[in-house]
Structure 1
Amino acid sequence: MKKNILTKDNIWLKEPEEHDFPAAQDFLELLFPSNQAQKIVEELKKAPTITKKSKDILRASKLTLLPESNIHVKENLKKVAKNKKLSPILLVRGQNGLIIADGYHRLCCSYYITEDLEVPCRLV
């Protein structure tokens, strides 16, 4: 994989895929009451897609970088190698840091490509 030619425009979709929102809600329901999680997801659906560097998202989330050997990270790296685009990441500002509601594996994948890669995301 030629890392130097990969940009946000050729590895990322412009908008999240529809199945990303129910996945985000499932995760958010572990942190918030169901009705609040649903409201957050509705906000994510309406939010504009912005870009942030993968290293900054990872730092703000306070999560550890998954290993390249992680099955989902590996699958996403294979997708990129086959010129298949990844879905933007869904983010929520939390009281104790950034919450990755959907896209943790995609974020880790992008970090392995280059930590300075601009990652499309929705942030509420």
Structure 2
Amino acid sequence: MTIREHNGVGKVTWKAEPDAHDYPAAASYLSLIAPGAQAGDLVGQLQTASLEHYKAKDMLRASGLPLLPPDNPHVAADLAKVKNNKALSPVLLIRGDLTLGIALQIADGYHRVCASYHLDENTDIPCRIADHPGSRVSALAAAVGGDLVNDSR
């Protein structure tokens, strides 16, 4: 588990791995924006991806999604979990591509990102991230045998 302190607000505890039910939720969302086989491939990538960390504010900016208010029922439920010292599940992301105008997709965990932002916009959120199949990163990874690693963090 990863624990992040938040200037007297409390602790956000993160599970070491996403919950099993997060993957079907991600597949359901992804099937709305990608063909079924492609959505399945992306979920497969998420299941084997290494855990990375990105800031809540950066996830929201890269996705273009609005910050949901703390009284949103799902955000409030996640804030209550934090207050009760219950660990949150890492989020599942599909990397965007700036050169193609493709935004980051939060495949599962949007409410957890918003809850974390309300506690501290600089919260480091653990995530698993897969590359969009049409992205240049994905094409480059295929060309070099899939050995690209984000070592900029």
**What TM-score, normalized by structure 1, do the two folds share?**
0.93
- Equivalent position of 1:35 in the other structure: 37
Provide the identity percentage: 48
AA in 1 matched with 2:6 = K
What SS does the aligned partner of 1:119 have?
A: strand
* 1:73 counterpart residue number: 75
Give 1:87's aligned residue.
89
Greater Rg by CA: 2
Unaligned runs of 5+ in 1: none
Q: What TM-score does the superposition give when structure 2 sets the normalisation length?
A: 0.76
- Taking CA–CA contacts closer than 8 Å with sequence separation of 6 or more, which of the two structures ends up with the larger relative contact order? 1
Q: What residue number does 1:100 align with?
A: 106
The two structures, once aligned, show a CA RMSD in angstroms of 1.4
- The gaps in structure 2 that reach 5 residues or longer are 131-153
- Aligned pair count reads 121
Is residue 141 of structure 2 the alignment partner of residue 112 of structure 1?
Answer: no
1:48 CA drift (Å):
0.3
Shift of 1:94: 3.4
Q: Larger % of helix: which?
A: 1
For 1:77 and 1:29, how far apart are their aligned partners in 2?
Answer: 28
Q: 2: CA distance between counterparts of 1:58 and 1:68?
A: 15
